[in-house]
Each structure stands twice: as C-alpha cells, then as structure tokens.
A and B are shown apart, each in its own frame.
Chain A
Amino acid sequence: MALKVVLVGCGKIADGHIEEIQKMPKRAQVVAVCDRELLMAEQIATRYGVPAYYDDVDRMLAVERPHVVHISTPPGSHVALARAAFQAGCHVFVEKPLALNSVEAAALVADAERFGKKMTIGYTYLFDPVAVQMRELLASGAIGDVVHVDSWFGYNLAGPFGSALLGDANHWVHALPGKLFHNNIDHLLNKLIDFIDDDQPEIQARAWRQRAQTFGDSRDDMPDELRICVHGKRVSAYGTFSSHVKPAAHFVRVYGSKSIMHVDYVSRTVTLDHGATLPSAIGRLVPAFEQAMQYLKQGGRNAAAFARADFHFFSGLNRLAAMFYDSIAEGGPLPISTRDMLRISRWMDQIFGLIGTGGRR
C-alpha cells in the first residue's frame, strides 16, 4: 500500500518534493498540500494535480490522515509543524535546516522519539549518485585512510532564491541566526559526517560580506563568504561557502593516505588522483591521460544514466525519500541518523557564534 503523503509549505523547493514523490506511486502518493497562503497551495496543487489543498495544517491532518508529512516551510516553523504531525501519528520529512538552533533541533528529535515516529531531513546530496559512488570507492579502500576533507559549496546570489532574498529586506532568511549560511551550510557540513565522527570537533570560522551592493537595511548585514576549519580526532576538514567564486562549484575532495578523490556534484563525476606512479618525465606525462580517461568513463556513465532516464536534478532527493519511505514501511533504519542531524545542528550553532552577526568588507 502506498503511503499517503502531505506537504506543508508551497515555496520553491516544494516542487522538487512533489515531482520526486510522484515518480514512486507504488511507495507514496501526495494527497494534499498546505500553505498558510491558500493561493500558494492552490497553484502547486493545480500544477501537479494534487487532489486537495489547505491553508490550515491541523485541518489537513485531520481530514487527510496522512502517513508522512513533508515540511518545506522556513525553519522557524519546523518544530511546531513537526510536533503537530507527530501528534497526528505521522512520520516527518523536514527540509534543512532542521531548526533555528541545536536546542530546538534536540526538542524536535525528542518529539519524534516520544511519539515513536520517524524523521528525516533534506540532506539530499548525501544520496546523489556521486555520493553513492564515493562511498563504494571508500569502502573498497581506493584512497586508503582519510586524512583530510575539503567541502566546497558555491552559491549563486543572482539565482531564483538569491534574488528573492536580496529583493526583500523582510525575507525570512535575514532573520535566521546564521542568515544566508543558515539556510545552506547543511549541504557543506553534512558531507563531513561520513569522515568526522566527533560529537564536538574543534571549529574555526570566519565570514564576511564581499558584495558591494548596499540597501541600507538588514540585507547589508548578511555575510556571503564563509570559511571554516574543522579538527576532528582523526580527520580534519576545510569548508568553503562562496557566493562570489564563479562558476558556483559544488564538490568534495577527500584526501587519503593512498590517493585523492574528487567528487563533483555539478558535473557528476568522481575521479581519483594517484599522483605520479612512473619515474621522471614519464611520471609527469601519464597522469593527465589517466585523469582524462577517468572523466571519459564518468561521462559515459552519465550518458548511460541519461539514456535510461536516470539523470535527474533531484536524484538525491528521490533516493532519500524512497529510503525513508522504505524505512517506514519495513521498519528498517533511518537513512540519516538523528545523531548526525544533531551534530550538524550543534556545529552550525558553533559556527554562527564564531562569526557573529554582520560581516565585513
């Protein structure tokens, strides 16, 4: 039997959720959507053929009696909405960031446990095809022991979301403790959790505002460049969030005791750098061809995925949702542990505490 899914919060990311859920009709079906602005719920219901739409969550939960609630509202409302969903007997898929801070995040996790319900979070890139490939290579010992990780997340302030928040001094992002970073660096940090197992590693962070444009209001307080350095017991990491480096890259480099792995989320490629394995000039000549062959193979792999219609933008979201639904239906483990959700939430608190509010030019 397919799970009955409802979605709360009909903003931009809601499209991605509905599109992916509708690709797995045997697992789950979207039966209703909700937004406090009924017109927003109506528009998404119309575009995706969702049978019902509401502007009142409690009423939707009472009428539809769903199994799963997807929450894609601003983070300040996550705790209350998730609690309402748990109380109504639902499992919850909540968009990142989990909450406004780690205290709220812990309360949310506690609620899930109290009501005996499952919860996951939209760490979709952890389930992208390249992330899956990366884990397979790591398990095979391809790079040896991991020493250091470099996680890079580029952001386009001129994109749909960036334009929306720069065009509105009252945009909810400006009220978040970590502002722009708060809404994005889950994607930077969650790639480290496979490598840094510490609950509370040592973290250094620095942020600033690099853009010249000024508005004379709260938007000017929003830093747009962030650098972090994380020291775990065994593995260290750098994190970069950049709004100004173009193109807006998105990758992870994993530095091992045998080789270096480059995982590129934009070109969907995973390559290994073995360095020079042959002597002298030959040793400098061969690696470029070896790299070229790896990219050729990855390109072919992507082309094959495209040919079988398995090369979608939200592949990670699809895989995560499917694993979450299977975990509900079959009683298996969660795709993302609540410990990892809470660790990232605490790291974010620490980073926002270190960078303070406002930036510098």
Chain B
Amino acid sequence: MAVTEQDVLEEIRNQLKEIKVPGAESATPGDTWSELDVDSLDLVELVKALEDRFDITISDDDLKPIESVGAAIDLTMRLADEKEGSPA
C-alpha cells in the first residue's frame, strides 16, 4: 500500500514527541529543524524511526539537504515508492 503524506507526518509528529520537541503534535510540513530545535542527534533518532516504520534506508547523502518536516516527508515517500516499485 502506498505511503501517504499523512502517514509520514504522523510518524514524524510521534517521533518528535518522543524526542520531547515542544509543539510536536502540531508540527507542519513547513517547519524547519532549526525552528523546531531539532539537532543532529535528534535527526538521527527521527531517521531511524522513519526507516523502521516505512522499511526504507535513508543514506547520509539523502539526508544532507533535508532541513524541514516537508522535505523529510517527500524523501520518505520517494524512497518508499522506489522500494515498492522495485522487484522483491
């Protein structure tokens, strides 16, 4: 089943809540990591959670330009789509 924008947003909000980011529940795609006060270690946790939840692998190169919730959603959906489209 295709991964939706809402699925990824929910997972990001859950993970931000776990990391104890203030306002995690209302984070929007337009929010940047710096606005949310998410540092590099928080991002590692977030990436691990997205990898586990959506069965994808996010490389360091993929991660570098990702500076906002929306960019993370787009990347996760792209990687999940690529995985779904590839032969098992």
On whether the two chains bind one another, the answer is no
